[in-house]
């Protein structure tokens, strides 16, 4: 078990290394010139060249990549020979000249918002998705099942920016049920936090809930046809134990897998929802960085997001083994 | 509510049909039989003959929303068909229990064996977890599982098929039910294990004075363990008798066909098995007359279109021998003698 974890962690590190290299190469062959973007209106070719040299963008791609990797472990200093060098201490994910800030700090600033958004939505969609999915499975073929699944399909089909705009228009602007969203950490203003987050949570959750409802229903229907469910009934167990314990436990495995990966993906930022509700999370950071061709930030976000997903993969596999005793890690 | 003349398990005119998009599926129609404690009744028939559905109907395991069930199923003086779902549920696992064909898939793969057994205890008995666990370990020992204490902490996939079926039997009998329904309990097992499992069921049956309904298509098993035999075909009971009458004096052409299609090692006269021609009827489109008529090689002896058009009644031949056939008695006896004489090498 522990040797399994060690092996998995090592392969994760290798994967991250490869991934960062790919991201690096991809951005280096883009037609946009990061050095051109570093200087403002009064730009001359000389300034651009000077900046290119200052940022190390005149080096070959692999050397740039090497500098980046070194920075991760020992930190790095930009423009070392200039009068005001920029120090980026380890682990240095890079430095955004556009924003004049270390990438790691930018990501750290955005992360709490994104984590709160993701976790809140996660709770909503898991509770709604699983309970409605189980309900639909038990009532299979009835009008209740069809209603639940139909509403789910609508939720799944509507784009979140559409639902989001509708919600903002009606709930916030027209009916004044909630104040305009403005991010505030929960420890500073819990009420304001909830008022801001409730709509993003629900809207983000609708999409996922619809998917999880379908997944849960299909899983439950499959499991309810298993021989061991008939055995559970033959033992005389009440139906709620048969469903809530025997069937749900067996049906949960693929749901846990999907949930872990979806949550990790969301921790990389929900671009549309964050932009719509002006939440200063990773998603907002990512979209502005892409617009600005702010390469170091994009590389940083890509790596952090990939790390979340890879770690979630490991956690999901461990959970899988904890749920299903037949699964052997190794 | 119970009258003293009623048998311990008394099934009367049981009919189960499932509405489907293709039409009403008549899985079981007008089946009646009874059995006392300590006795074994074997229900024999091909796949789709309605034997498993009958068994599940007795256990109250058929979803009444999905099926139409009529008739009476008296277990220990209580009519399962008339009772509420929850009352039947309380009888399941305590007064009546069931073991299934495939021990590989009948145990929950995620729970330890001991936990699955003690769960069965705690549904029906108000005992502590430790007590239930102790009962579980004790029962595992009684069904012949070596080192039951440590086996209780294993998962089903760590056991062989025979061991799993022992666990199923332990789970079924842990609350000392007086009725045990075994639905092809040995079909999925190795032949060597089959005999052990049947012996185990028989010895526990003696110990608990259990009524056993054994569903099987293996006539060898029937000859070994059954007191009475009910032969089913196309959802109907076509012949019912004690085990000797079935093997030596069966009168229904289908029963005789079943007996003739058993492979025998002690005969060299024919190099081929003698199977019944044709296939079992579709439960949606049953023939209007005798359900066995399309495959029956004797129906021409009846004359006219009686076999094709008219459902035969269940005729009583003697105290416990019933047969559903249009042939007249002399003809049936003649055929019976002919077939069984060949089968038993003149021993009948």
Find the CATH number of the domain harbouring A160: 1.10.3720.10
* Contact flag A249-B110 (C-beta cutoff 8 Å): yes
Q: Which one of A227, A228, A325 has the shortest CB-CB distance to B155?
A: A325
Same domain, residue pair A269 and A135: yes
The whole domain housing A45 covers 32-92
Which residue from A minimizes the CA distance to B106?
A: A228
Same domain, residue pair A71 and A192: no
Q: What is the pLDDT of residue A59?
A: 83
Positive or negative: CA dihedral A133, A199, A108, A191: negative
Whether A2 is covered by a domain: the verdict is: no
Same domain, residue pair A250 and A190: yes
> Strand order in B211-216's β-sheet?
B96-99, B179-183, B211-216, B40-44, B228-233, B236-242, B321-324, B314-318
Q: Which one of A235, A249, A250 has the shortest CB-CB distance to B123?
A: A235
Same domain, residue pair A37 and A131: no
Choose one of A71, A92, A113: the last residue of a domain: A92
Same domain, residue pair A86 and A143: no
With tokens 């990790």, the residue in question is A264
Same domain, residue pair A274 and A312: yes
- Choosing among B52, B65, B89, which should be mutated to test the A contact, i.e. which has the most A CBs within 10 A? B89
Q: Which one of B86, B100, B123 has the shortest CB-CB distance to A227?
A: B100
Whether A44 is covered by a domain: the verdict is: yes
Helix (H) or strand (E) holding B41: strand B40-44
Q: Domains in chain B, ordered, with CATH?
A: 9-226 (3.40.50.300), 232-343 (no CATH)
Chain A residues contacting B via beta carbons under 8 Å: 226-228, 230-239, 246, 249-250, 323-326
Rounded distance, CA B253 to CA B249, Å? 11
The rounded mean pLDDT for chain B is 89
Beta pairing partners, B179: B96, B211
Q: Which one of A226, A238, A326 has the shortest CB-CB distance to B105?
A: A226
B124: chain A residues, CB-CB within 8 Å: 236
Same domain, residue pair A68 and A113: no
Whether A180 is covered by a domain: the verdict is: yes
B161: chain A residues, CB-CB within 8 Å: none
Whether A22 is covered by a domain: the verdict is: no
How close, in Å, is residue B186 to chain A by CA atoms?
16
Query: For residue A169, what are its two tokens?
Result: 């228009």
Which residue from B minimizes the CA distance to A325?
A: B110
Same domain, residue pair A158 and A45: no
Whether A216 is covered by a domain: the verdict is: yes
A233: chain B residues, CB-CB within 8 Å: 61, 89, 92
ipTM confidence: 0.88
Same domain, residue pair A181 and A56: no
Angle between helices A295-323 and A282-292 (to 10 degrees): 140
Choose one of A92, A115, A130: the last residue of a domain: A92
Beta pairing partners, A86: A78
Same domain, residue pair A122 and A259: yes
- What would the mean pLDDT of A50-70 be, rounded to a whole number? 83
The rounded mean pLDDT for chain A is 89
* Contact flag A238-B91 (C-beta cutoff 8 Å): no
Whether A19 is covered by a domain: the verdict is: no
Rounded distance, CA B74 to CA B178, Å? 13
Whether A122 is covered by a domain: the verdict is: yes
Whether A313 is covered by a domain: the verdict is: yes
Q: What is the pLDDT along chain B (348 residues), one digit of tens a residue?
A: 445 578 999 999 999 999 988 888 889 999 999 999 999 999 998 888 899 999 999 999 999 888 999 999 999 999 999 999 999 999 999 999 999 988 889 999 999 999 999 999 999 999 999 999 999 999 999 899 999 999 999 999 999 999 999 999 999 999 999 999 999 998 888 888 888 889 999 999 999 899 999 999 889 899 989 999 999 999 999 999 999 999 999 999 999 998 888 776 666 555 566 778 888 888 888 888 999 998 998 888 887 888 989 999 999 998 889 999 999 889 999 999 888 877 776 543
Same domain, residue pair A223 and A287: yes
Give yes or no for a contact between B186 and B14, defined as CB atoms under 8 angstroms apart: no
Rounded distance, CA B346 to CA A303, Å? 86
Same domain, residue pair A197 and A250: yes
Domains held by chain A: number: 2
* Contact flag A236-B93 (C-beta cutoff 8 Å): yes
**Polymer length of chain A:** 330
Give the least confident one: A75-89, A127-141, A163-177. Answer: A75-89
Give the least confident one: A129-143, A166-180, B209-223, B334-348. Answer: B334-348
């Amino acid at each position: 078990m522990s040797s399994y974890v060690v092996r998995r962690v090592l392969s994760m590190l290798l994967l991250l290394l490869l991934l960062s290299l790919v991201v690096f190469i991809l951005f280096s062959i883009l037609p946009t010139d990061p050095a051109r973007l570093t200087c403002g209106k009064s730009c001359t070719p000389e300034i651009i060249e000077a900046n290119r040299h200052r940022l190390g963008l005149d080096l070959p791609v692999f050397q740039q990549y090497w500098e980046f990797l070194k920075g991760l472990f020992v930190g790095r200093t930009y423009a070392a020979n200039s009068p005001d060098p920029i120090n980026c201490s380890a682990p240095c994910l890079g430095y955004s000249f556009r924003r004049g800030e270390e990438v790691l700090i930018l990501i750290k600033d955005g992360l709490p918002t994104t984590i709160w958004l993701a976790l809140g939505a996660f709770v909503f969609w898991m509770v709604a998705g699983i309970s409605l999915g189980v309900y639909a499975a038990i009532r299979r073929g009835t009008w209740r099942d069809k209603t639940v699944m139909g509403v789910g399909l609508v939720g799944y089909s509507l784009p979140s920016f559409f639902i989001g705009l509708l919600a903002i228009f009606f709930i916030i602007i027209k009916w004044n049920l909630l104040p305009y969203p403005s991010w505030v950490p929960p420890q500073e203003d819990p009420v304001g936090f909830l008022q801001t987050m409730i709509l993003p949570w629900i809207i983000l959750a609708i999409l996922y809930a619809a998917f999880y409802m379908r997944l849960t229903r299909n899983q439950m229907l499959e499991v309810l046809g298993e021989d061991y469910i008939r055995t559970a009934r033959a033992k005389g167990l009440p139906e709620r134990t048969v469903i809530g314990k025997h069937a749900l436990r067996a049906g949960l495995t693929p749901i846990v897998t999907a949930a872990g990966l979806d949550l990790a993906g969301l921790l990389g930022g929900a671009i549309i929802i964050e932009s719509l509700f002006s939440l200063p999370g990773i998603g907002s950071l990512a979209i502005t960085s892409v617009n600005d061709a702010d390469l170091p930030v994009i590389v940083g976000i890509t790596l952090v997001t990939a790390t979340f997903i890879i770690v979630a993969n490991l956690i999901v596999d461990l959970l899988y083994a904890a749920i299903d005793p037949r699964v052997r890690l190794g | 509510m119970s009258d003293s003349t009623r048998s311990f398990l008394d099934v009367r005119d049981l009919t189960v049909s499932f509405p489907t998009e293709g039409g009403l599926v008549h899985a079981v129609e007008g089946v009646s039989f009874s059995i006392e404690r300590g006795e074994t009744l074997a229900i024999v028939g091909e796949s789709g003959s309605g034997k498993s559905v009958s068994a599940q109907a007795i256990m109250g395991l058929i979803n009444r929303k999905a099926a139409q069930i009529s008739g009476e199923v008296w277990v220990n003086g209580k009519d399962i068909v008339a009772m509420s779902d929850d009352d039947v549920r309380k009888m399941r696992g305590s007064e009546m229990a069931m073991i299934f064909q495939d021990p590989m898939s009948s145990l929950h793969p995620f729970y330890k064996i001991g936990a699955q057994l003690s769960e069965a205890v705690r549904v029906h008995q108000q005992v502590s977890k430790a007590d239930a666990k102790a009962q579980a370990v004790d029962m595992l020992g009684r069904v012949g599982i070596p080192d039951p204490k440590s086996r209780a902490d294993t998962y089903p996939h760590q056991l062989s098929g025979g061991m799993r079926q022992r666990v199923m039997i332990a789970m079924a009998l842990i609350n000392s039910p007086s009725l045990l329904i075994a639905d092809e309990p040995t079909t999925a097992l190795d032949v060597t294990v089959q005999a052990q499992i049947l012996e185990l069921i028989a010895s526990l049956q003696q110990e608990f004075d259990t009524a056993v309904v054994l569903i099987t298509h293996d006539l060898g098993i029937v000859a070994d363990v059954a007191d009475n035999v009910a032969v089913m075909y196309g959802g109907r009971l076509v012949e019912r008798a004690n085990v000797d009458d079935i093997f030596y004096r069966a009168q229904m052409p289908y029963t005789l066909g079943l007996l003739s299609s058993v492979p025998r090692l002690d005969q060299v006269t024919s190099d081929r098995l003698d199977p019944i021609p044709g296939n079992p009827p579709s439960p949606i489109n049953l023939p209007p007359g005798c359900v066995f008529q399309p495959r029956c090689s004797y129906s021409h002896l009846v004359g006219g279109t009686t076999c094709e058009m008219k459902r035969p009644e269940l005729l009583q031949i003697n105290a416990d021998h019933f047969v559903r056939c249009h042939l007249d008695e002399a003809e049936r006896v003649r055929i019976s003698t002919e077939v069984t004489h060949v089968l038993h090498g003149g021993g009948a």
